Amino acid sequence: MTERSAAEEQKWDLIIGEQGKFFSLNLRDIWRFRDLLVMFVKRDIVTVYKQTILGPIWFVIQPIFTSLTYMIIFTRMAKIGTDEISPILFYLAGVTMWNYFSETLNVTSKTFIENASIFGKVYFPRVIIPLSKIISGLIKYLIQFALFLIVLAYNFIVKGNVHPNAAVLLLPVLLLLMAFMSFGIGLIITSMTTKYRDLTFLITFGISLFMYLTPVIYPASKFANYRYILNLNPLTSIFETFKYGFLGKGEFNIMWLGYTALFTLVVTVYGMAVFNKIEKKFIDTV
């Protein structure tokens, strides 16, 4: 009997209550639920504009209106320059990128609280939810990016005042960095909100404030004297490299981009570790 049970011991498919490692990606589980990941992405995209007449066109109307608003407020009224780039193009570049970052951060940082009811009823790797958010956010971004490209082509052909260069090839890297930065920070915040709800109030406020510390609506060159401080914000190099590549203005500095990459790696790894620890018990405290 004991021999038999010893043999059995090897064959368990799952052991609940094991102390997990500090950091485990649990890729096998995520792979098993890959169809669910696809379903969540689809749901995010499809359900947003169901029962609307314009449907997915809303994805592009929104950044156009935001850019126009910024144009009126910051260019016309506040007279903040845009580095001699057509203001609508300049803002469109910033706004679409910023939207991707802030929306992803906003939803991933609410992972536990918003999904408490479903997490309380069924098991699947919790990280599927924030992963689906960065993917559906990316799809939305790419739709908006197409709009940006159209405006860019117009400026390039008709006005000739933009100078795209080889740095555009870095776009996938920039998007990846931005996606995982918001993912990592989001995971850390959502893990903390399961116990300390106060953070939920701060996060929305914090994100909108943070936009002004990032060269979204102004060129970084405007603050040449404080460049170091501005560069400490890991988003700065992403936005500047993007503008450098597509518009020919801005700054491309491999060192600061490396700093951003390191920062992203650290928050992602730390975020995953905290998230893995919290996900096992959060339902008791949320």
Angstrom distance (rounded) from CA 75 to CA 3:
80
In whole angstroms, how close is the CB of 39 to another protein at the nearest point? 5
Dihedral over Cα of 210, 171, 88, 60: its sign: negative
Of the pair 35, 79, the CB lying nearest another protein is at 35
Of the pair 2, 51, the CB lying nearest another protein is at 51
Q: Which stretch binds another protein (CB under 8 A): 28-36, 66-74, 93-101, 204-212?
A: 28-36
Counted residue by residue, the chain has a size of 286
Angstrom distance (rounded) from CA 80 to CA 251:
18
Print the binding letters for residues 122-141 with another protein: x by CB under 8 A, - otherwise.
xxx-----------------
In whole angstroms, how close is the CB of 206 to another protein at the nearest point? 20
Of the pair 64, 113, the CB lying nearest another protein is at 113
Of the pair 73, 283, the CB lying nearest another protein is at 283
Angstrom distance (rounded) from CA 166 to CA 171:
10
Burial classification of residue 125, based on how many CB atoms lie within 10 Å of its CB (0-12 exposed, 13-18 middle, 19 or more buried): buried
CA atoms in the 13 A half-sphere facing the CB of 79:
0
Angstrom distance (rounded) from CA 196 to CA 199:
7
Site size toward another protein (CB under 8 A) is 37
What residues between 37 and 96 interact with another protein by CB under 8 A? 38-39, 42-43, 46-47, 50-51
Q: Which of 3, 13, 169, 205 binds another protein (CB under 8 A)?
A: 13
Of the pair 46, 168, the CB lying nearest another protein is at 46
Q: CA of 13: how far to CAs of 29, 36, 129, 130, in Å? A: 12, 21, 24, 26
Q: Which amino acid is at 219?
A: P
Of the pair 76, 281, the CB lying nearest another protein is at 281
In whole angstroms, how close is the CB of 17 to another protein at the nearest point? 3
28 binds another protein (CB under 8 A): no
Asked if residue 271 lies in contact with residue 184, where contact means CB atoms within 8 angstroms, the answer is yes
